[in-house]
Structure 1
Amino acid sequence: MSRPAPSPIYTLRGAGGPLNTLHFSCLAGDTPLLFSGSGHGVVHIWNLNSRRAERNLEGHSGSSVIWVNTLQSTGALLSQGRDMQVCQWDLREGRSEVVDSVWTGSVGFCQCSLLETSSGSSLLAFAGQQTEEIKIIELPSKKPVCTLVPDAKVGMVMCIKLWQPDSGPGPLLLAGYEDGSLLLWDVTQRCKLSEVKAHPEPVMCLTFDTKRLRGISASCEKKLSSWILDGQNNLQLQDLSVTLVNPGVSQLCVREDGKLLASAGWDHRVRVFGWKKLRPLAVLQYHSDMVLSVAFSDHQDPRQRLLAAGSKDQRISLWSIYSEGANSS
């Protein structure tokens, strides 16, 4: 018999809006934090020891916050709102100040993607003002790096992932588009490397395991599409896929150790799979409305690792799903 589904170890309340995005910062020696971005334009900083909001940041004029991330090199926070701004916050010594901002020109729901480089600078990718364009800039200088626009009509940019491969000179970028296509871009050469039709509907979200060169994407249908990147940078669909009970996924997230995949479902549920074989492991039921975001914590001790889920019901659920046996899943 399968084990009963677990309950959240605790929940965070008081966000005052739908939870569009979550980001953990649990480095050793620091207070473990969870950042959340709400549909009412507020970034909450949750202290995971006290289980309370430590600070509330309002820098997007009440517009929905759709992405948050931190710069490991400086500890600065980045937040993206539907006011077409990406704000950089200084949080040192109790400060809560916007010290810089980037205008994206995009009114869509495509989340930014951040890549910290070895030189101490960072690359920020975001959907541009034109429907199909992706812009990449350097931070902190805000110097333009490139603009990526497909030759064919693929519709609006829906989701992106920027990363630096172990081999090869420059960064690569994966993008999902409105027509269901996935495109792989070479940022340095400003050219498309490969393309695959992953879904019949718009690609709502994707996640990519940069160590195993394998990704998965979702649409408003009942299927998760799995795909790989071969040695020649060709995207290839895998036979391995997941058929869901109910359609619609808001976000996908692979745990850093490559053992678990979590999905945020429109059916109010979080589903956990073994990443290797996509075997279903658990269905987490707690929320009363669609789940919009999922994130795994970056605790160094595997036994402390958490899964967080943010919902339209304005609550964040925290789950402990540490599993020694996830290797073979």
Structure 2
Amino acid sequence: MSRPAPSPIYTLRGAGAPLNSLHFSCHGEGTPLLFSGSGKGAIHMWNLNSRRPEKVIEGHSGSSVMWVSTLQSRDNLISQGRDMQVCLWDLSEGRSEPVDAVWTGSVGFCQCSVLETSPSASLLAYPGQQTEEIRVVELPSKTPVCTLLPEAKLGMVMSMQLWQPDSGPGPLLLAGYEDGSLLLWDVTQRADLSRVRAHPEPVMCLTFDTERLRGVSGSSERELASWTLDEQSKLQLRDGVTLVNPGVSQLCLRGDGKLLASAGWDHRVRVFGWKKLRPLAALQYHTDMVLSVAFSDHQDPRRRLLAAGSKDQRISLWSIYSEGGDAV
């Protein structure tokens, strides 16, 4: 590295449990917020100005919160827990109980994926009761859209991402499975379009750049797999990157498509230039596995942050803005 790695600009403490999921909500004129989901069932809404929790929601009967996100606005929160429930929350009315829930029946660790299809509707993909099963429903109606089951025995579904392509009729879904396979699904046709074996181990996490049609996935080994989607909607493996230490919990691509962050089992957050997957920095602060990473969506690039949540019960926040936009 040409320059020493930075230190976090501040740390959020008080979650009292491992931090499995992070989600920023910094757009608009309101207070910048960071939502976190913890291993003891709490969802913290952190005020990034005061650096304190603005609200703590005790959800999912104390079971671990695996995933948090927002729908349409920051007041509509969605969370997924190990209690086999996906809960919908309306924060505008100050409620402490979910306004609705979807039962998944899944005992795995695969995080959901949500796609906003209109100002008032979304698609939710979640792991189903069968280990290889993915279910897609419309929200808020909870109308079933499809069930996706691969013909081959790929093992448990481990990770997924929904997106709407610029051309073509309906949404597509990328899913990573226990045998190391990646599968591209056409949600409308309920058909698998392409499959590649990206890893020898389960696909723990993936992220996909919908503009450049490039993706990357991680597992328990030392390789990040890189892949593209060609004009025939076929997955093509590319040169990946070898990590110093094995194990990646999560991957996150910055909104401008310039930086990629990885949450490492070796307690480090690694930052890469997305264009060439060039390692830029290894951020070292946490004393246990890093479980989650997220980039903020602030309109002012100078106020954009990278957040990392760890098994050590702390959230570190890093300023990685530069004038060039693609360096740390």
TM-score after normalising by structure 2 = 0.98
The residue identity in structure 1 corresponding to 2:101 is S
Q: CA deviation at 1:25?
A: 0.2
Q: Deviations over 1:5-46 (max 9, x none)?
A: 100000000001000000000012111000000000100010
Equivalent-residue separation in structure 1 for 2:214 and 2:27 (angstroms): 26
Cα offset for 1:173?
Answer: 0.2
Q: Cα RMSD between the aligned structures?
A: 1.3
> Is residue 25–residue 74 contact of structure 2 (8 Å, CA) maintained in 1?
no
Q: 2:122 — aligned with what?
A: 122
Residue 36 of structure 2 corresponds to residue 40 of structure 1: no
Give the deviation of 1:107 after TM superposition. Answer: 1.1
Alpha carbons of structure 1 residues 36 and 7: separation in structure 2 relative to 1, 3 Å:
same
Question: The residue matched to 1:61 in structure 2 has which SS?
Answer: helix
Is 2:178 the counterpart of 1:168?
Answer: no
Higher mean alpha-carbon deviation, 214-223 vs 74-83, is at: 74-83
Q: CA deviation at 1:2?
A: 1.3
Cross-structure match for 1:113: 113
Partner-residue secondary structure (3-state), 2:75: coil
Q: Runs ≥4 in structure 1, deviation > 3 angstroms?
A: 93-97, 326-329
Q: How do 1:272-287 residues align onto structure 2 when only pairs under 5 Å count?
A: 272-287=271-286
Residue by residue, what CA displacement relative to the aligned partner does 1:216-268 show, whole Å, maximum 9, x if unpaired? 000100000000001110000012x1101100000000000000000000000
Aligned residue type for 2:251: L
In the TM superposition, 1:29-108 aligns within 5 A as 29-73=29-73, 75-108=75-108
Match in the other structure for 1:252? 251
TM-score, normalised relative to structure 1: 0.97
Q: Which residue of 2 aligns with 1:233?
A: 233
Structure 1 counterpart of 2:204: 204
AA aligned to 1:181 is S
Q: Distance in 2 between matches of 1:182 and 1:139?
A: 26
Q: Percent identity?
A: 80
Structural mapping, 1:139-178, within 5 Å: 139-178=139-178
The 2-side partners of 1:37 and 1:119 are apart by: 25
Q: Given that residues 320 and 327 in structure 2 are in contact (C-alpha distance below 8 angstroms), is that contact kept between their aligned partners in structure 1?
A: no
Change (3 A) 1:83 1:214: same
Q: Where does residue 307 of structure 2 map in the other structure?
A: 308
Q: Any idea what the Cα deviations from partners look like across 1:188-228, whole Å, max 9, x if unmatched?
A: 00000001110000000000011111100001000000000
Question: How many pairs were matched up?
Answer: 328
Instruction: Verify the 8 A CA contact 2:293 2:308 in the aligned structure 1.
Output: yes
- Equivalent-residue separation in structure 2 for 1:74 and 1:42 (angstroms): 17
Residues 276 and 328, structure 1, Cα contact 8 Å, conserved in 2: no
Distance 1:57 1:73 in 2: 17
